[in-house]
A and B are shown apart, each in its own frame.
Chain A
């Protein structure tokens, strides 16, 4: 009787319990991400850290940020499994890296690369008060030519 009870009862209990735990965790991580992206102008969710990216796509984004000398906050999804899944759910985007500017999801590696090439990134950064180092370099060059 005891085993029968356990067999029929435990799965139900387990499922409900785990289910509610999971949605609780989801809500918590969602809130955490929301805070991160809204409290920082530029945020990069990546694999590894800027000094040692662990994925070529993440590395490409880091290099683009470096070229423009963008100050940004980075988060390593490999060190936090909750964050790794949570960020995908938050932005409804299936891959890492992910870049946020002014709380808004901008894109992954492909989009950043294209925005960099088209000059759009310089404009987007300008909107949030960040002057790209590429723009500064260009201005200096023009000044030199004038003289």
Chain B
């Protein structure tokens, strides 16, 4: 699984890295799976491993990530799938992430 490159992907990566001091980070552009132009940066999946998640319930972790990526979500990124683990949870997991569900039409945007 390779991490995406692109203006938005880079911005997402930088912000998450800085704010969460990630020990593992994957930014995957899943836009190609959807009804959008080639090269679009609209649908992302992020795999974040950070000890800043320690003691935070899942919803709080997601809210934290949404907050960090507030601008991106307001400007064009319209799907964001989040995997948020602490390094301990990551070590215990299989370190693989399932791909997101297939698109079912949407509105072409």
| Residues in A lying within 8 Å of B, measured CB to CB | 47-48, 53-60, 78, 92-95, 105-111, 114-115
Contacts and interface: CB of A to CB of B under 8 A. Distances in A.
In order of increasing CB-CB distance, the 3 nearest A-B pairs are A56-B101, A94-B73, A54-B105
B73 to A, nearest CB: 4
A47 B66 contact: no
Contact of B100 (A48, A57, A93, A106): A57
Interface in B49-75: 58-59, 62-63, 66, 70, 73-74
Contacts of A95: 73, 78-80
B62 A57 contact: no
A115 B62 CA distance: 14
B66 A93 contact: yes
Nearest to B105: A54
Nearest to A93: B66
Q: Is the interface of B mostly helix, strand, loop or mixed?
A: mixed
A7 B58 CA distance: 52
B104 A53 contact: yes
Given A94-B73, A95-B79, A60 B101 contact: yes
Nearest to B79: A95
A41 B97 CA distance: 31
Given A94-B73, A114-B58, 18 more contacts: A47-B106, A54-B104, A54-B107, A55-B104, A55-B105, A56-B102, A56-B104, A59-B104, A60-B101, A94-B74, A95-B78, A106-B59, A107-B58, A107-B62, A109-B81, A109-B101, A111-B59, A111-B62
Nearest to A118: B58
B4 interface: no
Nearest to A105: B59
B86 to A, nearest CB: 14
8 contacts: A55-B103, A55-B105, A55-B106, A57-B100, A59-B101, A94-B70, A110-B82, A115-B58
Given A55-B103, A57-B101, A94-B80, A110 B59 contact: no
